[in-house]
Amino acid sequence: MLREAAEARRVAVVVNTGSRRGAEHYGPVVRRLARTGLPVVTTHAVTDGAEMEPTLRRVLKADHDLIVVGGGDGTLSTAAGLLAGTDRTLGILPLGTANDFARTLHVPADPVTACHALASGRVVDVDVGRVDGEPLLNVASVGLAVGVTEALTARLKKFLGPLAYPVATARAYRQHRPFRARLEFPDGDHEPVDLDDLLQVTVGNGRYYGGGNAISPTAGIDDHELDLVAIVRGNLPEHVTIARRLRDGTFVRHDNVHYLTTRRVRLSTDPPSDVTVDGEIAGTTPTLFAIERNALHVVVPTGSTAATLDGARAKRD
């Protein structure tokens, strides 16, 4: 297993050129990585998001010990799901709209700077969440977030970048309908919880979501727990107060917010709801969320304090 990116023997670079900045930066980042001295032996420009997983599977069959993936959070979530539990190391280039996984790990937003941070970076372990077995890097949600995801068109993200998120949220808020939820905890660390008149339920693995909002003040990518947040519908002034506290995560202390941490939770809703996972609609409730500890090796900048190499992986539940 690598301890530093500089130890890599064979490096593959896979870029989703359909991501917001992928096509623009594919050539420059490939050339920049080569100039850093990393032994880049193969590169792949993936123009269709549906081809990302097959491309990564082919790369995994080859003898690469560092796989650098460029794209948004959805692309990186796909990569993490395939690399989790292997001895391969993931390098990340933030080329999407929100880039919340990169933000969690303190990876620079500028692609060129990110290349240099990657080449000189160190390897840490991070947790990977699971949503009915599928990977979760940042957050999964039901409720308002589904409407936000539907409103976040490719055109809106292209022209507004991160500002597309508040615009899409305003659109989704006007059409939202409240729902009920039941939370059950298979490990018995909490009693079952029934909640009514909800705006949203979010389950977080990382620290950031939605272009830089914090899931809670203490959330981390290697704390071996999921952060669960349920927001009651309330009224508009209460929502404004909560919105003002999203950036640092202190909104979880609001009276209209239910917050806890757990390793596993089963979420049921009435009516059944779509579930967004790292910005993509990926299933429907009822859904089981779980944490896979120390599942993924990933390169972070030398100065990053987001995670450590702190132990052996836990078996998936």
Active site positions, annotated: 280
- Whether residue 244 contacts residue 313, with contact meaning beta carbons closer than 8 Å, is answered with no
Name the one residue in this structure whose structure tokens are 């996972």. Answer: 277
Task: List CB contacts of 126: < 8 A, sequence separation 6 or more.
Answer: 105, 221, 222, 294, 295, 296, 298, 307
Task: List CB contacts of 284: < 8 A, sequence separation 6 or more.
Answer: 272, 273, 274, 275
Query: b/e string for 138-156 if b means 16 or more Cβ within 10 A?
Result: bbbbbbbbbbbbebbeeeb
Burial class (CB in 10 A: 0-12, 13-18, 19+), 253: exposed
- Whether residue 265 contacts residue 185, with contact meaning beta carbons closer than 8 Å, is answered with yes
- Whether residue 60 contacts residue 86, with contact meaning beta carbons closer than 8 Å, is answered with yes
For the chain, the distance separating the N- and C-terminal CA atoms, rounded to the nearest angstrom, is 24
Nearest Cα residue to 309 out of 221, 217, 227, 225: 221
Tokens matching residue 97: 């709209």
Q: Which helix (H) or strand (E) holds 32?
A: helix 22-35
**The residue count for the chain:** 317
- Whether residue 15 contacts residue 27, with contact meaning beta carbons closer than 8 Å, is answered with no
Q: What is d(CA 239, CA 245) in angstroms, rounded to the nearest whole number?
A: 10
